Structure 1
Amino acid sequence: MGGYEAQETSEGDGVPDFLMALPAPEAPDGDPFERCLVDVVRVLGLDVVRGSGIDDYEWGHFVRAALREACKQEAPFPEQSFEVLLRAAVHDTDPSFNRWFVEAALNGFGRGRVRSRLIGYLRTGTDVERAGAARAWYWTALPLDHPHLRAAGPGGDRTEPDDGAVGVREWNEAALREFVDNEDLDVRRCILPGLPLRPSAYPAQLHRLVEEAVAIARSHPDPYLQHRVEHQVRG
């Protein structure tokens, strides 16, 4: 990861007309994502085998491709795949490719259930899981493109209408508190891009926290936080 993303801005406001890409997180001890990939293949019965000479990066892409194909086939997902898919989404450190695990879970189990689980990770997970939940949350706004995909068993009976606003206020409030209270750099980096920094987005009792979050980002020694906050308060 690294580099910059193109972004149009107004002229003369003193803010550079690009967005810094989200820096890659520090590698956690062990390789939890590798274990997650093994579980996704096993629980969903994906037709993919890791051959000799396949490195971790390629293996991840093979599993994601097999998962996308399984979604297109719209075969029922086993109930236990819900947690397996969300764990993979949370531990996938690539903020672009983690979408395939989120999208599969959304279509199989519904937006409300996926968002509720990510809020749980944000509130009670490890710092690695909190940062991963923030990266995964971005993709929970995806449309449900596989309407006939369901989880097998009682968990697959999704009769509630799809509500794009479900869980958003709860997430925003939890993310704001986490950004202010948690000094872990990866957590703050991953939360900030999706964090509304308008007081009007929160109840009155949280307006002070919005001001505190802006002050933390502006005064932080990390260039990414400094850069992102100026774009967001201006937007």
Structure 2
Amino acid sequence: MAGDGNETTAGETALPVQGFMALPERPEDRREAFYRCLADVVRVLGLEVAPEPEPGDRRTWEHLVRAALRDACRQGLNLSEESFGALVKAAVHDPDPSFNRQFVEPSLNAFGHNRVQSALLGYLRTGTDRERAGAARAWYWSAMPLRMPLVRAENPGAAGRAEPDDGSAVVTEWHEAALREFVSNEDLDVRRCILPGLSLRKPSYPPELHDLVDTAVAIARSHPDEYIRHRVEHQVGD
């Protein structure tokens, strides 16, 4: 997100978040689980990099895995069903919101928007708090246009690939689930990560959820976290 840690490259369209306070660092170290996800990505995709880091040099290994995945996508990649789960899980557990796109984008191109968004919705609804926060960060990239023509599913018929406009129902489900989660879940990281993508306009929801929008705004405005208080005023005022 352009003011929250997710960045766009030259020529891409960024969301209008000018003036937003940067999303704070994760409240606890998240890299142990992420490194396990990276090891799965290396194994399942057969990337040409060591299957696990050398002791004391994990960050170098992480950069090598990211580079190997990027190169594989450029050269052409056929993704298996197992690859889908490994990539989405890595996106959810990636502690760097500037880079989780590296796992979301190939998944979108091989399996389609609807399937990726449905998987992220599953994490939001049933995952751990860490996974719910990560799913909200990954969701930012889930509507990207398909720009990796050499990344395909091994079995296109079973991939459930859908065009971007086919995902309107799951997008609606996401917004309603995110609103409920923001109100009911007091975890700081979950609320920090959900809020940037949360519509706080009542017309975005059915009438029965309008009171919940008011509750979400009240929670955010009175929250002890400075980032949440700062962010909600921008969103309500837009």
Q: Normalising by structure 2, what TM-score?
A: 0.86
**2:113 counterpart of 1:121:** no
- Residue in 2 that maps onto 1:218: 221
Q: Percent identity?
A: 61
**Aligned-partner Cα distance in 2 for 1:165–1:3:** 25
CA contact (8 A) 2:105 2:144 kept: yes
- Residue in 1 that maps onto 2:90: 88
Moved more, 170-179 or 24-33: 24-33
Matches within 5 A, 1:100-179: 100-153=102-155, 160-163=162-165, 165-166=167-168, 167-179=170-182
CA contact (8 A) 2:221 2:228 kept: yes
CA contact (8 A) 1:150 1:157 kept: no
- Tell me: CA distance 1:40–1:171, structure 2 relative to 1, closer, same or farther (3 Å): same
**Aligned-partner Cα distance in 1 for 2:31–2:98:** 22
CA contact (8 A) 2:182 2:191 kept: yes
- Tell me: CA distance 1:129–1:155, structure 2 relative to 1, closer, same or farther (3 Å): farther
CA contact (8 A) 2:75 2:150 kept: no
**Aligned-partner Cα distance in 2 for 1:140–1:152:** 21
- Tell me: CA distance 1:159–1:105, structure 2 relative to 1, closer, same or farther (3 Å): closer
**2:80 counterpart of 1:41:** no
**Aligned-partner Cα distance in 1 for 2:166–2:97:** 21
CA contact (8 A) 1:4 1:20 kept: no
Question: How many corresponding residue pairs?
Answer: 223
**Aligned-partner Cα distance in 2 for 1:190–1:148:** 31
Q: Normalising by structure 1, what TM-score?
A: 0.87
SS in structure 2 at match of 1:19: coil
In structure 2, stretches of 5+ residues that fail to align are: 7-17
Q: Which has the larger radius of gyration?
A: 1
Q: Which residue identity is paired with 2:102?
A: W
- Residue in 1 that maps onto 2:234: 231
In structure 1, stretches of 5+ residues that fail to align are: 6-16
CA contact (8 A) 2:111 2:161 kept: no
- Tell me: CA distance 1:157–1:119, structure 2 relative to 1, closer, same or farther (3 Å): closer
**2:192 counterpart of 1:192:** no
